[in-house]
Structures are given as structure tokens and as C-alpha cells.
Structure 1
């Protein structure tokens, strides 16, 4: 039986609250048997943890602050993060990283917050889910500084070139493959064609980055199958092989029970 893991889905947001049971049912009907939930900011923690409590063997929380939500008072934000790490179980530190696409005014704060959250990951022996947009150089510089042989994680929503892919892998990261791979103009298919499946995990980033054939609609974990099917086409293998390898990768990375 095909089993997929959505390693990155924000199913606790308002986009899903009115029909969460249906969303999860559709996910199960489309072979998704586990969902990892990266946190966004202070306001999303409660709803995320509520879902993790109701579905403890299906929905797994991460803890961190998304770079776009880092403020000048980020030390208070990270104090809250560590408080949660001390009192609850999480499968990763995330979603963390650097995003300089819309605004660079808080670049230094983002970089410092990223560094601190990487150190938290090492201290709590957890992997990281990294968001990187218009900041590959900055993210890699910090990773190179903080990597002591124990850091591991995933470069969420990877969309870079082959050189960038290989650098991420060298630094101990899996590549998170999402809906972008279904878009012909993205060029991601050519990059991933030469990357071994041992370095890949699947994700939707729901409710964002909807894959073809549902572009323009809200994304959801059920659509992970289209990402798996496209990856199978690119690799020239059957979808069950994609499912088997990427699921094993995700279970190993996030220490998910089978």
C-alpha cells in the first residue's frame, strides 16, 4: 500500500478550521498517512497544538518562528519558543530561516533569530525545517558556522539549482519537494532529475504552493499525491517507489513512529 508523508503543511490556519475533518479524510484517502506541521508565529501555536492533541498519531507539530514573523523583539519570541520546547514534544524546530523577498529591514534580526533557533535544535537534538527565500547565501553562511556534525533537517520548498542542491545535501539537509516541481517553467525537474531519492522528502506547504492540476486553488495535503506522481515521472520509476523512499526519509529525519 502506498503511504506518503506531508512533511510541511500549515493545516492549523484559518483556511482549514471549518472543514479540518474533511481535509484530513481526503488526505488519508489519497495515501497521506502522516502530516508534519511547522509553526508560524506566537498566534498559531494554540491551534497547532490543539490539532496535535486531537490527532497525536497523524499530525505532528514543530516549534519555531517563521522568518517573516520575526520582529525587533525577537528575543522575547524565542524565549516563548524555548518555553514550549521544555514542556511539549515536537518533531522539529521550524519553520525557521531567512526571507529577504519582500523586506530586508529586519535582515539582521532574521539572521540572529535563525542562528539561535539552530542552536536550540542542537540543544534539543531536533532537526530543522528551513525557509529560505532570496537569502541562500545568508542561510548557507549561518549553516556552515553552526554545523557541528549534529545539525540535520530539510530545506523547505527547495527551488534552487543543482549546485545549491548539492550544497544543501553536503550540509546535512534533505530537499523538500513541493508543488513547484509540477510547474514546467520552474526548471526544478531538471535539477531534481540528477539528485538521488535518498535526499528528498515530500511536502505541500498547504495552503500555499498548490501543484498542478489545482493551481489557483487552496492547497491541501491530499494533493501530495500529484507531487509524488510528478517526481515518479521525472525519475522514471513507479509512484510506490517514490512513496517508499521519501516516507522512509521523513520517518528517519523526524523520528516518526511507523
Structure 2
């Protein structure tokens, strides 16, 4: 059995003292690959350092996180993203999107940055990894403007309803399912099994959003197995079958990563 954490911030300072142990625990729980989304230029080097240490297990994305889209710096940050793509390859453009939970005043420049990075992804035929918080309508508005055969990716940390799930899938997005699926008030567990498993990938978003019974504590990639167990129960399939399907889905998204054997 092979599981994949399609979204984890292993370079976070929350793992600064024990990242090796965290990765070892993940492998022990059959989580063998880790995909790291970018945030902004301040985190780039720490991502590169971790990838250098685990080149066969870690795949990197590059992008500007919507909460890092600030009036004074977002243009230079987008330039940084483009410069990184000139220097090397990445598995995806992400995480990008719109976040209206923390700051609604930056909506217009968040949209601008989102569009810019979608165009970048399409030009490179790469998937996008979408961050959406309190902004489904706004994200869908931009996706509608940019929809094309090249547009595809993952709707990271999906927390919407069934109609929003179907709409995301219509834009060739897979749904990133994480710890929220295990929450008593998470709601997605009420309809998730109505979505074909071919549209589902697993993630932790660690160190955030730890699944039950670890809710409120630091999340880590080994907990993908807990999420997988929950999702398998929702679909009434075995853990092995769930792992095989979601891993296949992740491999389809991250096509330019060398998964080895």
C-alpha cells in the first residue's frame, strides 16, 4: 500500500526540530511521497533544503499564497515565482487562490495574482493547487474566465458543499480531502461518497488541520492514513482499495514527478 500526502508544509518551522522523525513516521504508515506547496519568497530556500535531503520523496510546487498577496509586495513576489520557474522545474503552481477570511481588502489583487499564476500554469501545462477560504464564488469566477483544456489541478482542503464539489470537478479539479473529513462538524462526510473516487486525493495540510483524534494539535503527514481510513469507511471500500485509487489520482496530477518504482 502506498499513500501520498498531496499537500504538506514540511518545511514549516513547526517541524524544525524533528522533520526526519516526522517523515520516518509517515513512511511507517505507508505515506511515501510528499508534495510541498509554496507560500512566498521567504520560504523558498527552506523548501529547497528539504527537497535536497529527500529528493526521491518530496515534490515541490511554486506559487504565491493568497494570504501573502499584499499591495506593497505582490508584484515582486510574482516575479520571484517566475524567476524560480526559469531556474528549475516544479510539480505544480501552488498554492494559489483567494482567501477572504483574513483580509477582504486585497480581493482585487488576489484575483489578479490568481489569474496571473493560472496563466503561468497553463503555459507550462502544470496543475494548479487552489487555496479557497470564504471565497468559493470568487474562485469560481476566475476559473470560469480561465477555463481551458490545460486548466486542471487540485481544490486543496475542500470544505464546500456537494454543488460546489461538482462545480470544482467540472473545472477539471480533483478534491483534496484532509482532516476536515474526520471532524464531527466537518459536513463533507455527509455527501463525499456521492463523488466518484476518481476525483479524490488525500492531504494533510500539515502542520494545520490535524484529523481526529489529534484535532487542535500539530498535524503531520503520517495522519494521511487516518484520513484514508475515514474516507474508506465513507465509501465502504477497503483501505487498500482507497489507497490505490487516490494514489493513482495523485500520480495523474503530478505527472512530472519521478515516482520511481
Q: One fold, TM greater than 0.5? A: yes
Q: CA deviation at 1:191?
A: 2.0
Counterpart secondary structure, 2:14: coil
Give the TM-score of the pair, scaled to structure 2. 0.97
Moved over 2 A (4+): none
Partner of 1:22: 21
Q: Does the 8 A contact of 1:251 with 1:257 survive in 2?
A: no
Q: CA deviation at 1:190?
A: 1.5
1:31 aligns with 2:14: no
1:235 aligns with 2:235: yes
Deviations 1:230-249 (A, max 9, x none): 00110001001110000000
Deviations 1:15-35 (A, max 9, x none): 002111101100100100100
Counterpart secondary structure, 1:157: coil
Gaps of 5+ in 2: none
1:54 aligns with 2:61: no
Q: CA deviation at 1:215?
A: 1.1
Give the TM-score of the pair, scaled to structure 1. 0.98
Q: Does the 8 A contact of 1:40 with 1:65 survive in 2?
A: yes
Q: Does the 8 A contact of 2:147 with 2:171 survive in 1?
A: yes
Q: Does the 8 A contact of 1:209 with 1:219 survive in 2?
A: yes
Partner of 1:206: 206
Q: Distance in 2 between matches of 1:204 and 1:186?
A: 15
| Aligned-residue RMSD, C-alpha | 0.8
Q: Distance in 2 between matches of 1:189 and 1:114?
A: 29
Counterpart secondary structure, 1:62: strand
Partner of 1:168: 168
Counterpart secondary structure, 1:15: helix
Q: CA deviation at 1:185?
A: 1.4
Q: Distance in 2 between matches of 1:230 and 1:148?
A: 34
Aligned length: 257
Q: Distance in 1 between matches of 2:112 and 2:217?
A: 35
Deviations 1:149-173 (A, max 9, x none): 1111000000111100000000010
